[in-house]
Structure formats: structure tokens, C-alpha cells
Amino acid sequence: MADTRTALVTGARGQDGSYLTELLLEKGYCVVGASRSPDAARAHALTPRFEWIPWDPMDQPGMERTLASVQPDECYNLAASASGAGMYDQPAAMCETNGVAVVRMLEAIRLASPGTRFVQASSAEVFGIPATSPQSEDTIRRPRSPYGAAKQLADAAVDIYRQRYDLFAASAILYNHESPRRGPGFVSRKVTQAAARISLGLAERLSLGNLEASRDWGYAGDYARAMWLMLQADAPGDFVIATGTSHTVREMCQVAFAHVGLDYEDFVDQDLAAFRAAEPVPLLGAPDKARRVLGWQPHVDFNTLIEMMVDADLARLRNPNGSTGADA
């Protein structure tokens, strides 16, 4: 594999972007991290083959100038406003950042660097409350949040630019994916942090909502590898990236607390005020196409993932001023 390929990665400082950047560097790429604050980001530069450049998702002419200058072989759009509890707070801004900005990016590629292969980090939220489970690339999209609607707009734009302009453009429909680099606001990190803190005597209890809520949870490093594989394919397409197996929050608690020698039932409370009913049809991905076309499959299973996260949280708590090697 040539060692001169260049990849442009937006969101390179996030969970997915950090794993992808490491993967690309291992494969000999020159990586350009696009950031709204490149000066602050430069402290995270990894090697001489990695550089930060300014990137404003609202500035299409600026995108065109950057793409014309860099001429990346591959472009990974991982920058987005995150899902979660805040995804209803600013719906217009959410749609601008996660939807319209992707249209600008595709147009900039068309005009300034049409040979660039592009992948959009989409989300299972585009399915909303699906009619069937598991979901595949052909499942009808019925988003029920501004976040899902914006991701659907981005997916539609990818398809339009692929069909009309013959760009190598693809969407990775990513199901929940976690890692030690996951932000503390997500339920996975709430669970693993609590297990670590309680085991060290730094906390006493954990309060959660519906313990029977289920998700298809995978490892972020595996999903970054899937996006890279998508841009190595012979033809562009959309791919569901998932494990194909669902687990409940209760199972997550069981694994996390057992890993530190505790019984979760002694420490976890259900908060009725935070209780949210489980979806009538579960969000569960069918990654058959990714396995068949890309040869992709996850390497890290659910139990290993949760135990990995607990170990990283324990390391942070035991050495708060040091680096555990787990942070992005």
C-alpha cells in the first residue's frame, strides 16, 4: 500500500476521529485534521505526518480553497453535533451542522477535488422508530429527532452527489459505538465510571433510567476501521455498521460491576423520573452487507468493550494527573 496517500479528517479530536487517525497513520497516510480551532488542536499532533488546518463547516468557499490545496485522496466527515439528551435543544443549529454542512462539503469536493473519496458518518437515528428489526441499508428511514433528520439529509445528499456527479461518496450508518474515549455524558461511561468509582470507595451509588433499554453497542475502533474499508471498496455505497447483537443497560451494569468484583444490584438504582420506555421495535443493525462486501466484522465483543472501559476509568482515577493512553 502506498505511503503517500493523504486523508482529510473532520472531527479528528473526537472518539471516532482519534481511532481513525491512528489507523490511517499506521497505514502510512499523511493525515490532515480539520478543526475550527487548529491552534488549540495542534497540541494533539501525533507525528510529522499529521497536521491541523482551519475548517469552518459554514464556509463553503473556504472548504473549496482547502480542498484545492490539499487534494486529499480520502475525506472522512466525522465532525457533528452529538446525539443524546441535547439533540432537541437547538434543532436549527443541529440541522445546519449535521446536514447542510455536509451538502456544502460535497459541493466543495465536486468543485475543487472531485477525485477525493468521501465517507459520511451517519447514524442509526435515521431509522427513528423502525417498522422492522434488524435494520439494513434498505430499511425505510423515519427519523424522530432533529439529529436523525439532519443525518438523513446528509445521507440523501451523499446519494445525490454519488448518482448525479459520480463522486465516490458513501454513508456509514453507525450504530452505538463506545470506547474508553467516550464522553462522560453517555450511559456507557456513566456505568463504567460508576463501577470504577464505587470499587475505589469514591462513590456509593449509581442512578439510571430504564435498565431494560437495549442497544446494539460496538467498539469505536472497529467502526473506524469499517469506514476506512468503505473507501477501499471498488464502488461507493452505504453500509450499516453494527454488531448485529443487542444488549440491555442492565447487562452493561452486570458486566461493569462484576469486572471490579461487585454485584450491580447492590449499587444501581432505577430513577423513575429518568425512566424512558423501551422502543417498541429495537434499533438493531444488520451488518450483512459490510461483512459480505468489505470483509468487515467487529473484533471487540460487548463484554470485552465494557471491561476495557472500566479498566481505563480505574486507571484515570488512580492516576488523575497522568495519561492512561485511553484519552483522545
Q: How many CB atoms lie within 10 A of CB 164?
A: 9
Q: Which of 18, 122, 123, 188 is catalytic?
A: 123
Distance of alpha carbon 121 from alpha carbon 284, whole angstroms: 17
Distance of alpha carbon 271 from alpha carbon 61, whole angstroms: 49
For the question of residue 264 being annotated catalytic, the response is no
In 3D space, the residue among 302, 311, 36 whose CA is nearest the CA of residue 199 turns out to be: 311
Distance of alpha carbon 287 from alpha carbon 193, whole angstroms: 30
Give all strands (DSSP E) within 203-325, no chain letters: 206-208, 214-215, 218-219, 239-241, 247-248, 268-270
Which value, to the nearest 10 degrees, does the dihedral of the CA atoms of residues 217, 218, 220, 224 take? -130
Distance of alpha carbon 313 from alpha carbon 171, whole angstroms: 32
DSSP H or E segment with residue 155: helix 146-165
Q: Which of 74, 125, 178, 251 is catalytic?
A: 125
For the question of residue 125 being annotated catalytic, the response is yes
User: β-pairing, 74-77 with 50-54?
Assistant: unpaired
Q: Are 177 and 216 in contact (CB under 8 A)?
A: no
For the question of residue 123 being annotated catalytic, the response is yes
Q: Which of 19, 29, 76, 147 is catalytic?
A: 147
Q: Give the distance, in angstroms, between the CA of residue 140 and the centroid of all CA atoms in the same chain.
A: 22
Q: What are the residue numbers of the active site?
A: 123, 125, 147
